[in-house]
Amino acid sequence: MVVIFFGGSFDPPHCGHLAIAEAAQRALQATTHDEVRVLFAPVGRQPLKPGGSSATYQQRLAMTRLAIAGHPGFEVCLADAPDPAHDKPNYTIDTLYRLHSQYPADTCWHLLLGADSFRTLHHWHRAAEIPFAASLIVAARPGENLADLPSLLPASLTMTLVGPSYYCIHDPAGRQAEFLLLRDLHYDISATQLRDQIHGLSPTSPHLLPQSVLDFIHQNHLYI
């Protein structure tokens, strides 16, 4: 089983999220020839966003369900849901290890990140463990130069190029992890700007936001 974990605020989930998930799914299907599942996991509380999200977790979860409807292999995942018993952030490494225990042992795990999230990876909780819990797939924005990729890794890790868009990450213990860079994707969409556009600063359009998600936003008076 090949699984891509795609976590994020999804505040709201937009067509850029769908585009990079589809690109990652196609890339892995082409190399593994296996069915690839993508788990969309709205996060309860992001450690690096102390201000929280504009929409509630349940609203973001509902919008994510609407956004991925009809996309083969796309599923909603509750692994990053808020824990009412513990008021603490959701840490990706903890979520990945928890998923490992819930899926078959031979599951091949990948973690999908936008390039903006990858640039903050070295600040994440136990960041040096993450590439070995799930191989990284990083989606670059159109025309983005990521020549500084190795310098963005946690300090103890190194990276070598092994093929077009494929790298290998190494740690001091000798472990190796795959790294796939998705280049020149046409998805230059900012959720922050999109929230501002939804109610009239500038018109939104179907290539930015699924219509079902836009309808939900209007029906629930979000981002006002």
**Is the pLDDT assigned to residue 30 strictly greater than 70?**
yes
Q: CB within 8 A of 54, min separation 6: which ones? A: 11, 195, 222, 223
For 69, half-sphere exposure in the C-beta direction (CA atoms, 13 angstrom radius) is 11
Considering only residues 123 and 142, tell me which one the structure prediction assigns the higher pLDDT.
Answer: 123
Tell me the average pLDDT across 153-159: 95
Query: Of the CATH numbers 3.40.50.620, 3.40.630.30, 3.40.50.1970, 2.60.40.420, which one belongs to the domain with range 2-189?
Result: 3.40.50.620
CA 42, distance to chain mean position in Å, is 9
pTM over 0.85: yes
pLDDT band at 149 (very low <50, low <70, confident <90, very high): confident
Question: Letter for the amino acid at 170?
Answer: H
Which tens digit of pLDDT belongs to each residue from 3-19? 999 999 999 999 999 99
Burial (CB count within 10 angstroms: exposed 0-12, middle 13-18, buried 19+), residue 210: buried
Sheet holding 108-114, edge to edge: 74-76, 36-42, 2-8, 108-114, 135-139, 176-182, 166-170, 158-163
Contact 10, 63 (CB under 8 A): yes
